[in-house]
């Protein structure tokens, strides 16, 4: 198993700290609004990571935190004239509904920041005692220049680094790069946003929350820390400084073995975010699309690369998924599966010597290459289609098991056009030509996984492509 480690910026062999067990911490949502597609991508990607390790026989301890105290949360509660507790409870509930809709398995632990304030204060006192933090007018800040290794995740020296989006320069800081561990309460803030401490009333800074919760639930050392690419600096850089400053580590070692970062969902090449106002919430997208289509869209690109959101892209995902489901229906695999039944299918796929199953497993073990894995599903579906036509024993159970690893195929196939399944409908010439054009664009962009996927989509519909000097020709098989 190889995973691209952001700390070192290369693929590395993954060897867990404890044999047979994998510990994962993923930075979750700040709950002041509905989740958008960028949040969905992080949830779905790490759901696949978790599913893969469990399918491989590991015991997984997966922690995804909830930030339920934050400047934006306070501002939203004041704006809506509601309590922080009522606001965060509402959006935690909505977040869980979105995750469940997308087939995301609930994490092993889902800690809320407000439940771990004592642990945060204990960690801050430890850093202060070590000379790595200082109190100033009710705030407590971390002394960045005291950590000589600061910047190793972002790959920059301290002098090269600039103040990040969430690292504000205040009068109480000795250095602009220092970041807040404890924030003094401000006039006009609600009482429920304040805790008593040795420094007076206040609340924890954003970064200390994750260091405290991860060490409390997983221990100072654990296998994988993940989140969106936007968290790499300053959030994760500051987490490393706090945790390694407090707990230390041997020369050449790190408290977290592997750092994984998920690329942006973009809209016209801009990051999808609430601050830019260009986001689509998960619930909005699910009004027009079934959850598995959205999940497919999020996994058809490699997790480290940005993916561009558009209605055309989602429509392409729906058409692609339709073809995979058509194979299941043709083979009579149109039933709902219980959790135990899903495990049986997955075990079959994981232990199969089928060449497509081996290629699929190799793709996932190569830094969770879901685009390649999906392309292999299409190649496999073409072979199964031929087996069904010739009335040979087909391997649909293995095929379904592979899909289940990605979170597909657990539900029965809907017998309506909204799902896109119609065994009597032939793909039109216009659609064929559109696919060929998309494939040419993909090849020109050297996106060969996408080109292969399109070829396999057409093949599953009985359309054979022939590339030549004069271009690409097609014929119905």
Sheet with 179-184, edge to edge strand ranges: 133-136, 139-142, 179-184, 202-204
Q: Specify if 341 maps to a domain.
A: yes
The residue out of 213, 234, 266 marking a domain boundary is 266
Same domain, 240 and 322: no
Same domain, 48 and 162: yes
pLDDT computed for residue 229 by the predictor: 96
pLDDT computed for residue 163 by the predictor: 46
Q: Which parts of the chain have pLDDT scores under 70?
A: 161-171, 250-252, 268-269, 271-279, 413-426, 460, 469, 477
145 CB-near residues (< 8 Å, 6+ apart): 158, 175, 177
Same domain, 141 and 234: yes
Q: Specify if 301 maps to a domain.
A: no
The residue out of 245, 266, 287 marking a domain boundary is 266
Q: Specify if 295 maps to a domain.
A: no
Please measure the distance between the N-terminal and C-terminal CA atoms of the chain and give it in whole angstroms.
Answer: 39
Q: How many CB atoms lie within 10 A of CB 126?
A: 15
Find the domain containing 177 and state its range. Answer: 2-266
Q: Specify if 380 maps to a domain.
A: yes
423, 330 in Cβ contact below 8 A?
Answer: yes
pLDDT computed for residue 451 by the predictor: 83
Same domain, 99 and 196: yes
Same domain, 149 and 260: yes
367, 2 in Cβ contact below 8 A?
Answer: yes
pLDDT computed for residue 143 by the predictor: 96
Same domain, 330 and 248: no
Same domain, 220 and 343: no
pLDDT computed for residue 418 by the predictor: 39
Q: Specify if 328 maps to a domain.
A: yes
Q: Specify if 388 maps to a domain.
A: yes
Distance of CA 235 to the CA centre of its chain: 17
* CATH value at residue 177: 3.40.50.620
SS (H, E, C) the chain: CEEEECCCCEEEECCCCECCEEEEEECCCECCCCCEHHHHHHHHHHHHHHHHHHHCCCEEEEEECEECCCHHHHHHHHHHCCCHHHHHHHHHHHHHHHHHHCCCCCCCECCEHHHCHHHHHHHHHHHHHCCCEEEECCEEEECHHHCCCCCCCCCCCCCCCCCCCCCCCCCCCCCCCCEEEEEECCCCCCHHHCECCCCCCEEECHHHHHHHHHHHHHCCCEEEEEEEHHHHHHHHHHHHHHHHHHHCCCCCCCCEEEEEEECCEEECCEECCCCCCCCCEHHHHHHHCCHHHHHHHHHCCCCCCCEECCHHHHHHHHHHHHHHHHHHHHCCCCCCCCHHHHHHHHHHHHHCCCHHHHHHHHHHHECCCHHHHHHHHHHHHHHHHHHHHCCCCCCHHHHHHHHHHCCCCCCCCCCCCCCCCCCCCCCCHHHHHHHHHHHHHHHHCCCHHHHHHHHHHHHHCCEEEEEECCEEEEEEC
pLDDT in tens, 262-311: 999 988 667 666 566 656 789 989 988 899 999 999 999 999 999 998 88
Same domain, 200 and 335: no
Q: Specify if 274 maps to a domain.
A: no
Q: Specify if 283 maps to a domain.
A: no
Same domain, 452 and 354: yes
**CA-based nearest residue to 288, from 305, 266, 311:** 311
What's the pTM? 0.84
The residue out of 249, 266, 283 marking a domain boundary is 266
Domain count, the chain: 2
pLDDT computed for residue 160 by the predictor: 72
233 CB-near residues (< 8 Å, 6+ apart): 153, 154, 161, 164
Same domain, 324 and 249: no
Distance of CA 142 to the CA centre of its chain: 29
Same domain, 315 and 231: no
Same domain, 92 and 230: yes
**Whole-angstrom distance, CA of residue 263 vs CA of residue 301:** 10
């Amino acid at each position: 198993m190889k995973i691209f480690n952001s700390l070192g910026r290369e693929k590395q062999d993954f060897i867990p700290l404890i044999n047979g067990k994998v510990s994962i911490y993923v930075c979750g949502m700040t709950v002041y609004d509905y989740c958008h597609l960028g949040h969905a991508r992080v949830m779905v990607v790490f759901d696949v990571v978790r599913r893969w390790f469990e399918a491989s026989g590991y015991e997984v301890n997966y922690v995804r935190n909830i930030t339920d105290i934050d400047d934006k949360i306070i501002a939203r509660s004041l704006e809506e004239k509601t309590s922080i507790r009522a606001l965060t409870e509402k959006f935690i509930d909505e977040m869980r509904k979105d995750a469940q809709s997308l087939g995301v398995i609930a994490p092993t632990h889902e800690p809320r920041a407000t439940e771990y304030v004592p642990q945060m204060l204990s960690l801050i006192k430890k850093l202060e005692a070590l000379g790595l933090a200082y109190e100033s007018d009710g705030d407590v800040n971390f002394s960045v220049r005291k950590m000589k290794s600061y910047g190793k995740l972002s790959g920059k020296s301290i002098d090269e680094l600039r103040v990040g989006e969430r690292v504000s320069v205040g009068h109480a800081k000795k250095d602009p790069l220092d970041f807040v561990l404890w924030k003094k309460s401000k006039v006009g803030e609600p009482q429920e946003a304040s805790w008593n401490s040795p420094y007076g009333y206040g609340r924890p800074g954003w970064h200390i929350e994750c260091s405290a919760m991860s060490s409390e639930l997983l221990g100072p050392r654990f296998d994988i820390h993940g989140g969106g690419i936007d968290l790499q600096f300053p959030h994760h850089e500051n987490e490393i400084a706090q945790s390694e400053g407090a707990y230390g580590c041997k020369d050449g070692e790190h408290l977290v073995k592997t750092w994984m970062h998920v690329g942006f969902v973009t809209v016209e090449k801009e990051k999808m975010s609430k601050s830019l106002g260009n986001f689509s919430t998960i619930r909005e997208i699910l009004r027009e699309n079934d959850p598995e289509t959205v999940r497919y869209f999020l996994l058809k690109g490699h997790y480290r690369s940005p993916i561009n959101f558009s209605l055309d892209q989602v429509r392409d995902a729906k058409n692609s998924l339709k073809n995979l489901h058509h194979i299941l229906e043709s083979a009579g695999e149109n039933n709902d599966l219980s959790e135990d039944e899903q495990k049986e299918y997955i075990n079959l796929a994981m232990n199969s010597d089928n060449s497509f199953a081996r290629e699929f497993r190799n793709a996932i073990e190569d830094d969770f290459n879901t685009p390649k894995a999906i392309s292999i599903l299409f190649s496999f579906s073409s072979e199964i289609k031929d087996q069904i036509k010739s009335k040979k024993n087909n391997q649909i159970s293995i095929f379904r098991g592979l899909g289940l690893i990605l979170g597909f195929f657990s539900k029965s196939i809907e017998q309506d056009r909204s799902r896109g399944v119609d065994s009597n409908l032939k793909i039109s010439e216009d659609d064929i030509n559109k696919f060929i054009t998309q494939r040419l664009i993909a090849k020109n962009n050297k996106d060969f996984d996408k080109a292969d996927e399109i070829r396999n989509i057409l093949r599953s519909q009985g359309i054979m492509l022939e590339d030549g000097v004069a271009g690409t020709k097609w014929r119905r098989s």
